[in-house]
Amino acid sequence: MVFKNYYKILDLETSHVSIEEIKVAYRQAAKKYHPDLNVGDNLAEEKIKDINEAYRTLSVPASKRKYDRIWNARFNKGQKAFSGKGEKGKMLEMFIGNIEKQEKASNNTNHNTAKKGENIETEISITIEEAYFGMKKKLSFRTGEGKNKNIEIKIPQGIQNGEKIRLMGQGKPGQNGGKNGDLFIKINIEDGKKFKLKQNDLYTDLYLTPWEAALGVKLNINSIDYDQETKIYIPRWNPKWRKN
């Protein structure tokens, strides 16, 4: 039975982390290997299983302590596990994904072996609303053979600006029976007429009459999903606010 390095799986360099830090690391790892962002990627499916397994163990203090004791007993001979202080590189590396090893070994054999095709990268623009709700989008592009190819991709709900969607096997064809490369699609989120995006925050303009700005007012403003309203209060003008 392989004893997996759960801290390594969650991209943590030390075991001296809080439960909240483990939760943050889990969310980042789960998002990176989410099935919607890695369509058809068997390696990502295996990694997400390991990520969930690591989180179930390390997110509970009792099971985390037990895991650390077992690790210390097996690999560190009583030393503190994953101290991160001068021991980086000396820790036992538990690699997940035997497929990557096999591919590297295959590429180092000879020129007649199967070679995976090159990846293709492109980018598309979507609206803020499309990024918020998610959508399906049809793409048309020209292959290396000069043929037009149409595919449909799924934009996952809540995708971030600059993220990439990976489509397995949609890149350039492989050689000698090798697998096709992958298609990476970078997502660019464009500002709309009503909302603008700054990092993870939405901005919108609110227009007031002069008397509303002077006397103060309570208003309802629609959120991006339009079925919810947020109440805001504009305070009455105070002469002390005037700049000197």
At 36-92, the pLDDT tens digits run: 777 777 788 888 889 999 999 999 988 888 888 887 777 665 444 454 443 333 333
Question: pTM of the full predicted structure?
Answer: 0.46
pLDDT level of residue 98 (50, 70, 90 thresholds)? very low
What is the b/e burial string over 67-91, where b = at least 16 CB atoms within 10 angstroms of the residue's CB? Answer: bbeebbeeebeeeebbbeeeeeeeb
Strands 183-190 and 201-203: unpaired
d(CA 82, CA 96): 18
Asked if 182 and 168 touch (Cβ cutoff 8 Å), the reply is: yes
Choice among 25-39, 96-110, 153-167 with the minimum mean pLDDT: 96-110
Paired residues of 39 in beta bridges: 167
pLDDT at 216 over 50: yes
In this prediction, residue 204 carries a pLDDT of 83
Per-residue pLDDT tens over the stretch 138-169: 887 776 666 777 888 888 888 888 888 888 88
Q: Which of 82 and 7 is assigned the larger pLDDT?
A: 7
Q: Give the class (CATH, top level) of 120-190.
A: mainly beta
Mean pLDDT calculated for residue range 111-125: 82
d(CA 181, CA 8): 28
What residue ranges of the chain are covered by domains with CATH 1.10.287.110? 6-107
In this prediction, residue 145 carries a pLDDT of 66
What residue ranges of the chain are covered by domains with CATH 2.60.260.20? 120-190
Cα dihedral value 67, 68, 74, 75, nearest 10 = 130
Q: Give the class (CATH, top level) of 6-107.
A: mainly alpha
